Amino acid sequence: MNSVSPSAVQYVGGVMQDELVETRRQQPPERQSSYSHRPPQTADPSRETSGEPDEMDKLKAKLMSAWNNVKYGWTVKSKTFFNKASPVTVLGHSYLLNSEDEVERFRLAFVSCIWLTYRREFPQLEGSTWTTDCGWGCMLRSGQMLLAQGLLVHLMPRDWAWPDAHQLTDVDFEVFRPRSPARAAGVPIPSFGSPRAPNTPEKSLPSDQVTKNSQKRRPECARDRQAEPLHRRLVTWFGDQPPAPFGVHELVEIGKSSGKKAGDWYGPSIVAHILRKAVAKTSVVHNLAVYVAQDCTVYKEDVVHLCDLSLSQTPPDPSNQAWKSVIILVPVRLGGEALNPSYIECVKNILKLECCIGIIGGKPKHSLFFIGFQDEQLLYLDPHYCQPVVDVSQGNFSLESFHCSSPKKMPFNRMDPSCTIGFYAKNKKDFESLCSAVSVALSSSKEKYPIFTFVEGRGQDYGLEGHSSNHSAPAAHILPPGKLGRSNNRRNSDEFVFL
């Protein structure tokens, strides 16, 4: 899964999009990006000086958006099958789809996740001609979704569900029941928001009866409705405009300290550190810190020093038990060039934990946000659908495009080994429970080397550019010098320990 350095790739101006796609099809796999559909754009210096995108740039962006959505559309239109005899796990919660109640619970859990995708026609990114992240920003979007899930857990009521999820729902519940012995194991679940053709009646129940049944399964919680202003405000933080603290404009700006710029490819490790800096920089989120593990190791004392507010007092006050909530991000590599099957059971056990907020990674050339699994397939949210920008500064902006209505799965064996795993702990007690629960999950691996570890004490402040505030410290070696071999040319995009 070797990748070409983005800086070494030149975008040929004037080449039509279908020719570019055909060229990439003809390239050998080792010369294609891990998480991007196309090489980044090299801006014309004269246009960069003027800061104005020309018509060719706009045409290229539209062509890329259209091509991307055609590919995405093929995926959306294909049915996803769920086994009614096996539980579906979504971020620590399990659903057995053998009853309408369980289907409804699963539907609400999935639709309530915040879905962040490519956008087009947003304000121009500073220092570039980009007005879309289509084709290069999928890992940033996956990272946004991971952070958004952490913020939902941090800010919203426990087991919150989006009360307007029914607006995306037009499901014929008859399809969830097997209609023949041959289909007894598989239950097709269509897009929750797939529109019914005009004048097409309900097949199973009258619409009023469907509504009554839906309300019977889960009455709208008044608490969830009261939390809606906070939900809406949270979404604005990811808006595609410069003031948004977690929007693509801000993340790209922060990425410059790691040597990245708009149009570059971002690996899951780099994105983890960008998210850490974004949370540390903003004032919109209170009492929350982000910790990024070093070399697949979570140093407990480092987390304590980050979260225990009494330690920042002079002199320290042991009676002050104030503790910041923490999002822990662990960049890992689950194998060499492909996923090591020995780690699959471990990944499943991690996704079963309530403290897990998801995994950013994907499959080769295609970043995804993993939120669960069923049997030997991962459940994910896909950022590759390019949507028009939404002006989140308007008080009544639509939330529909920020929630996905199509659950999708992919086999574990297609998972790219490079990923970042996210966890959340609200307080010190939760952090201690997290360490214990995750350690048990990690011990389930058949490999003698765990995916990552928890250790007492503090880690060295390595000072990798963009990864630490201490830039004077010596650079870290991921493997001993002289033993990097083929992995050395991957350092710019991955920076993972090989297991």
Active site residues: 138, 382, 384
8 A C-beta contact, residue 359 and residue 370: yes
Neighbours of 461 (CB within 10 A): 16
The structure tokens listed for 321 are 């038990």
Angstrom distance (rounded) from CA 445 to CA 20: 42
Q: Hey, what are 353's tokens?
A: 């934990």
Q: Is 441 helix (H, G, I), strand (E, B) or coil?
A: helix
Q: How far is CA 85 from the centre of its chain?
A: 28
Cα separation, 247 vs 400, in Å, equals 18
412, 377 Cβ separation under 8 angstroms: yes
The CA distance from 124 to 410, in Å, is: 34
Instruction: Give the C-alpha separation, 370 to 383, whole Å.
Output: 11
Integer Cα distance of 93 and 88 in angstroms:
8
- Give dist(CA 292, CA 468) in Å, integer: 10
Question: How far is Cα 161 from Cα 225, in angstroms, rounded to an integer?
Answer: 9
Closest CA to 61 of 141, 137, 135: 135
> How many Cα atoms are found within 13 Å in the side-chain-facing hemisphere of 81?
10
CA distances from 336 to 28, 191, 254, 340, 487 (A): 18, 35, 29, 8, 9
Calculated CA dihedral for residues 302, 303, 306, 309, nearest 10 degrees: -120
Q: Give Cβ neighbours of residue 481 (< 8 Å, ≥ 6 apart).
A: none
Contact 162, 231 (CB under 8 A): yes
Q: What are phi and psi of 33, to 5 degrees?
A: -65, 155
Q: How far apart are CA 142 and CA 329, in angstroms?
A: 13
HSE-up of 227 (CA within 13 Å, CB side)? 22
